């Protein structure tokens, strides 16, 4: 097959999956291995991992290795077809999901996935965990099916990550948007005992994580109390018509003596200090 014709046929696939195509998908388009090799040798395709290529005319996608690894888990099926499934089979999880969500400072050194059936990979940079995830624990992030932030945080605890590292991920997640704390508590319950909490007490483990992250009520109250301008702003938001005496009391705090800036953070858009 001529290269020009082969590239036109491959474009029907690559345009919808980050410029990438698997060997199996190319074969379904009538493009054999030798043609793929020639396109690679001529610089039209770049081999990302075994069985997955990217069109060199396509821009480099964020999380490229993870995307390629996910495509390789079901190489015959197109990404859009897989995403339309009621419950996607192979879901990004663990450190890879944390990186995808942008939470924590975890350097994912391998692509991690959760599968409803037992799977193994000969690749050292791919890891599977076996779990039939309920639909509520799956979301789509940057075009990839991934565990929710709640499930991701629980998986990090289950993987015996240092709790301070998980706490960082929790703090980042709460800054993005409100978490489903009821679901997170439920997911943490089986992990409580191994983390020095009462057996099944997911709430205690969550409290432990929030304290470490500095996002529990006491930590926030302390931060607020130590920042005069912040205290003044919060009070002014809750007092529609302050009395002259109250205005006089708040006036010294309006000059920001601590030199700190004010910003919006935490969940629900409340005011927090940087």
pLDDT digits over 178-189, tens only?
999 999 999 999
pLDDT at 239 over 60: no
What is this structure's pTM? 0.79
Looking at per-residue pLDDT, the higher value among 94 and 248 belongs to: 94
Please, which pLDDT band fits residue 253 given cuts at 50, 70 and 90?
Answer: very low
Q: What is the pLDDT of residue 258?
A: 34
Q: What is the pLDDT of residue 87?
A: 79
CA distances from 39 to 29, 132, 195 (A): 15, 39, 53
Of 149, 144, 118, 148, residue with least CA distance to 131: 118
Average pLDDT rounded to a whole number, residues 116-135: 91
pLDDT digits over 70-94, tens only?
999 999 999 999 999 987 799 999 9
Euclidean distance between CA atoms 229 and 179, whole angstroms: 28
CA distances from 164 to 157, 206, 208 (A): 10, 12, 10
Euclidean distance between CA atoms 260 and 274, whole angstroms: 7
Q: Which long-range contacts (CB under 8 A, 24 or more apart) does 221-227 make?
A: 223/272, 223/273, 224/273, 227/258, 227/260, 227/273
Supply the mean pLDDT for the chain: 84
Please, which pLDDT band fits residue 153 given cuts at 50, 70 and 90?
Answer: very high
Can you state the angle between helices 181-188 and 202-213, rounded to 10 degrees?
110
Q: What is the pLDDT of residue 224?
A: 52
Looking at per-residue pLDDT, the higher value among 152 and 161 belongs to: 152
pLDDT at 250 over 60: no
Q: What is the pLDDT of residue 122?
A: 81
Quote the percentage of the chain above a pLDDT of 90: 68
**Structural domain spans, the chain:** 3-62, 91-215, 218-273
pLDDT digits over 41-62, tens only?
999 999 999 999 999 998 888 9
Q: What is the pLDDT of residue 234?
A: 52
Euclidean distance between CA atoms 78 and 92, whole angstroms: 16
The conformation of residue 32, written as its DSSP 8-state character, comes to -
CATH number 1.10.10 is the correct assignment for the domain at 3-62: yes
Q: What is the pLDDT of residue 121?
A: 83
Q: What is the pLDDT of residue 237?
A: 56
Please, which pLDDT band fits residue 18 given cuts at 50, 70 and 90?
Answer: very high
User: What is the DSSP secondary-structure string of 171-205?
Assistant: HHHHHHS---HHHHHHHHGGGTGGGTS-TT-HHHH
Cβ–Cβ < 8 Å for 139, 87: no
Neighbours of 158 (CB within 10 A): 17
CA distances from 235 to 230, 249, 263 (A): 9, 11, 16
pLDDT at 30 over 60: yes
Neighbours of 149 (CB within 10 A): 25
């Amino acid at each position: 097959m001529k290269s020009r014709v082969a590239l036109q046929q491959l474009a029907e696939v690559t345009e919808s999956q980050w410029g990438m195509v698997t060997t199996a998908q190319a074969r379904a388009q009538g493009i054999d291995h030798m043609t793929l090799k020639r396109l690679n040798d001529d610089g039209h395709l770049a081999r990302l991992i075994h069985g997955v290529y990217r069109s060199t005319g396509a821009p480099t996608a964020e999380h490229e290795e993870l995307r390629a690894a996910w495509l390789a888990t079901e190489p015959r099926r197109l990404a859009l077809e897989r995403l339309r499934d009621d419950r996607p089979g192979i879901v990004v999880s663990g450190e890879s999901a944390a990186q995808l969500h942008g939470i924590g400072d975890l350097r994912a050194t391998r692509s991690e996935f959760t599968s409803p059936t037992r799977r193994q990979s000969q690749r050292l940079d791919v890891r599977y965990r076996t779990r039939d995830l309920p639909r509520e624990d799956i979301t789509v992030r940057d075009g990839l099916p991934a565990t929710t932030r709640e499930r991701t945080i629980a998986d990090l605890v289950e993987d015996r990550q240092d709790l301070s590292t998980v706490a960082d991920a929790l703090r980042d997640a709460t800054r993005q948007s409100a978490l489903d704390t009821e679901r997170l508590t439920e997911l943490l319950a089986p992990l409580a005992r191994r983390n020095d909490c009462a057996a099944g007490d997911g709430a205690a483990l969550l409290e432990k994580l929030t304290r470490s992250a500095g996002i529990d009520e006491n930590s926030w109250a302390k931060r607020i109390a130590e920042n005069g301008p912040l205290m003044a702003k919060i009070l002014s938001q809750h007092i529609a018509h302050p009395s002259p005496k109250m205005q006089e009391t708040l006036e010294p705090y309006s000059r920001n003596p601590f030199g700190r800036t004010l910003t919006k953070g935490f969940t629900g858009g409340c005011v927090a200090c940087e």
